[in-house]
Every structure is written in C-alpha cells, then in structure tokens.
Amino acid sequence: MAVRLPDLEAFPPLRAWQRKALVEYLRRRAEDFLAVATPGAGKTTFALRVAAELLADRTVEAVTVVAPTEHLKTQWAAAAARVGIDLDSGFRNADLHSAADMHGVVVTYAQVGMAPQVHRRRTLARRTLVILDEIHHAGDSRSWGDGVRVAFEPAVRRLMLTGTPFRSDDNPIPFVTYEAGGDGLLRSRSDSSYGYGDALREGVVRPVIFLAYSGETRWRTSAGDELAARLGEPMTQDLIAQAWRTALDPAGEWMPQVLRAADARLQVVRAGGMADAGGLVIASDQESARAYGRLIERITGEKAVVVLSDDAGASAKIAAFAGSQERWLVAVRMVSEGVDIPRLAVGVYATSASTPLFFAQAIGRFVRARRPGETASVFLPSVPHLLALASEMEAERDHVLGEPKRREGFDDDLLAQAQRTEQASGELEKRFQALSATAELDQVIFDGASFGAPVRAGTPEEEDYLGLPGLLTPDQVSLLLTKRQAEQLKAQRRQSAQPEPARVVQPSGPRTAGERRIALRRQLNALVAAHHRRTGLPHGKIHAELRRLCGGPPSAQATIEQLEERIARIRDL
C-alpha cells in the first residue's frame, strides 16, 4: 500500500526566516544542511516542511527523526501528524523494520547509539531524510556520535537542527562542517542562522526580564567552621558554589522568598492579559524538586505539578500541564530542552548548572511567543557567571574545537553526573551544611543592561518591579524599567535627606566599593538609554559595542575601573 503524500497546501504559513531557509535548502540540494534557530523560533515546523517537500517530489521515500528524549519523540510525532506526515514514535530497535504504512519513525540518540546497524539497514532500505534534532547531542558520548555516523551515513539527505550549536567539549558533531578561523581554531558552520536578537526584533520570541536575587548566606563546613557570604559578591569559586547551594536549600528562607516573588509576578502576568500563564521551577535534583513543590503548595495554596524522569507518566504530565490552567510546574531536566509549553511565562532558575548550553536551553522554555506583547520573567541567583549569561542572551555562539576551556561557576562535571540520574551527589552534600539564607532583589537585567538598586524581598520597592505589566513591547520594557529605577533612586534620596534627630550625624566618608559600583552602573545605563533615544540602537547592542571597545565582562560584572572607562567612552560616541 502506497503511503499518502503530505498536502503542501495544508501547511501553516511559514515565518520569514523559515521561508528564507527553505528557499536556501531547496536551492542548494545538499546532502547535509545545518539550521541554527533560537528556541521558540519554529525549527520543527521548518523541518517538517522540508520533509513534506522532499516526500512530495519523491526525493525521499522515508523520514527518520532523531530527538534527545523520549518525551520529544511523542511531541515530534504529534506535530508531524498535524501536517499529514505519519511517524511512528513507538519504534523499538527489536522491531528491525518500520511499518510500511508510515512515513517513518522517531527515535532517540541513545536508541541509535545502542544499535546503529539496525538504523543503518532501515536507512538503506528506503531513500531517507534524517532530521537530527538538537544535533549537538550527537557529541554527548563517543558511542552516540559514532552510532549516528554509522546509522545515517547512507541517508539521501540529513537536516541538522539546533538552537544551541555549541558544546563545552571537543567532541566533533557528526555531519557538521567545521572551518578554520583566523585564530586557527575550527568552528562549526551553519547553513541558516536565526538568532534570539533577530527573533526578538521580529516579534517571534518574547523579551526576557531577569530578576537577580542576592542575599546573606550562612553554612557550616565539614570541618565545623561557620562561614557567611553575600550571594553575588566577589569570592573564590568554592565559596560561590557553597553560597549558591545554601541559597537553593529548600529549608532556608531564600527559596521561599524568591518563590513568593515569582508567584506574585505570575499573578500580575495572568491578570494583565495572559490568563493561562504558567510558571516553571528548574531544580538541581529530585529531592529538591519535591521540596520546592511542597513550598509552592504552602505559598500559593495550590499543588504544583512535579515531573521526574522516574515517573512512568512524566510525558503525560508535561502534556497535561501544557494544556491546563495550573500555575506551577517543577522539574529537574525533563523540561530543559525542546519541550513546547508556550504558556510558560515565569521561571525560577533554582539549579546550580552554569554551562552556557544548559542555561540557553532552560531559558528557551520561556521565550515562545503566542501573540505580540507577551514577556517572560526569570528569577535567578545573583551569581556572576549566571548574570553574564543573562546579559549575553543575544550572543550567537558556534562550536569551537581546540579552544581552551575555563572552569567557571559550579562544578559542571559533578553536576552533569548528578543530573543524569537526577540525584544529589553525596560528596557534594558532605562539603557543608546550609544554615540560613535571606533574599533581596539585587538587580533586573534586560537587553544586556542592569536596572535598579538592591531592595529587600517583600518591600514595596520590590513590588514595583514585580508589578510590571505582562504585555509589553521590548521598548516599553526598557522605558518602564528606566522609570522604575529613577523613581526608586528618587525615593531613596528623599529618605536619606530626612533628618534623624536621635542619631548623631557623622561626617560623610567615601562610598563603599559596592555603592560606587551601583552608582556607576546606574550612570552607565542612563547614558546608554540616552544614546538609544538618539540613535534608535537597542540597549544590548550599545552595551556590546562598549564592551568591544573597552573590553571586559557585561556591566553586571564589570569592575569600577571598567565602568568608568565605558562611561567616558559613551560620552564620546
């Protein structure tokens, strides 16, 4: 029985980047094609349209989709069915051959790695298009990469998709072309690229507002010493990791205060036009995820949906949440990549993962726009490395082979091992005992710029930022954040000007380094805003140009000297 061909006329209209990429694909007719597009841009729709075109003109007879997770297999099959392409997501390696009345199958990278010859025989049996979703996963282990290469080398066409075309190792990604740069390092080359900045300007994705929370943390080391540190202050990597983990402790006060603020933000977004808006907490391990679920129920009076990979019905839970009105979802890794829940608008980054890859995948869950004006809000610990990643949302990265790797932030190797099993590491637990942690809103990051001065959680000043309307254009977000910051500073000046009769007034001394940094950051943001009004350039591009000219990290982590240099430089622009 001949398999029915998909109806191209029934396809939904393509976005501009999808049309451009499709024209380029059909023009080139190359065996391999790498499409890089930011999460939420519509890579699945683009790939299925390519599949439909190749099936319709009989370039291929079958389609194989390779996805990172079991849940995404189901999601791919459902999306394909909506456009008339029948894919079997239940195919097992033991089946050997796919059903004759299906266009093809959906499998995982792990499945291919376990039996590459099975998939090679299938690929040889019919002219096949292979869609490799989130292709960077093919470099996760040597067996996966080798398996993908063996299984799909005979394919007529290979279409690679990714929203994050970079890895933290030197494992080459199969079928991706690498070209030498001026520095002699090999970089991945994409055939079509559509970044977050492009998608934001065209209204394809939502603007993301990052609310960074600092606070005082106290913990006891394995030697019995009690240590205290302020989250976000300059420290050694070990102290940052321990302060960070102390803040994320479900038994402390930092997480309840941040969850309370995140739920307040979610209620504002719901009342302001996104009635079904949902929130997602990304946890480090299963034990923490369950504890966060209990905290949410205590704070909101409503049960959170907790999704763990051990649950037999994890995929069904995610699908049910996506179509429901429930407020909060808590997960470890199940929702970190590829899962499509467009109503997610508020996130809490309650994990100690710090790699650019994981961060980009996690934030990608919140950027999927459904209509103009929707914004996303992500709450995160005020940790220098995370603040840098938040400030560089629009940065486009490639996979670089042979580049010296820096060990930044938390111990990512240990964390990756913990997250593969979603269990906390026993050795990590022995390092210290969390004692207490308090939360305060340190700064708000948007479009590469930092707004606001530190305010205590639960204060009216915090509510001013949590109460930003949920439906705003990027320009309106910048305008309102600038206004909120000006009002906050004005109120602080009024308060400091009030006489305190009972207090002996001491001669004013020099500002602390922290106060100077806050003042300089505000001054720089005001000058950037003024330059934006003069030129129309986005705030992020102005900050990026200043960094190019002066060097150094984003303004949230810049030193006093670097901030002063940028202030002097922007006055000359």
- Is 306 in a helix, a strand, or coil? strand
CA distance 379 to 131: 34
| Tens digit of each residue's pLDDT, the chain (573 residues) | 456 778 788 788 999 999 999 999 999 889 999 999 988 889 999 999 999 999 999 999 999 999 988 888 988 999 999 999 999 999 999 988 888 889 999 999 999 999 999 999 999 999 999 999 988 877 655 677 889 999 999 999 999 998 875 655 566 788 888 777 776 777 778 899 998 888 888 888 888 999 999 999 999 987 788 888 888 777 788 888 899 999 999 999 999 999 999 999 999 999 988 999 999 999 999 999 999 999 999 999 999 999 987 677 777 888 899 999 999 999 986 655 556 788 999 999 999 887 777 888 888 889 888 888 889 999 999 988 888 888 876 555 444 444 544 444 333 443 344 334 344 444 444 556 888 899 999 889 887 778 877 788 888 888 888 888 878 877 788 888 888 877 877 776 676 666 544 443 344 444 567 667 777 877 787 787 777 767 877 777 788 888 888 988 877 677 888 888 888 888 887
Model confidence, pTM = 0.73
Q: Quick one: tokens of 35?
A: 């499409």
Pair 348, 354: CB distance under 8 Å:
no
Q: Quick one: tokens of 75?
A: 């999601």
- Measured in degrees and rounded to the nearest 5, phi and psi for residue 492 equal -65, -40
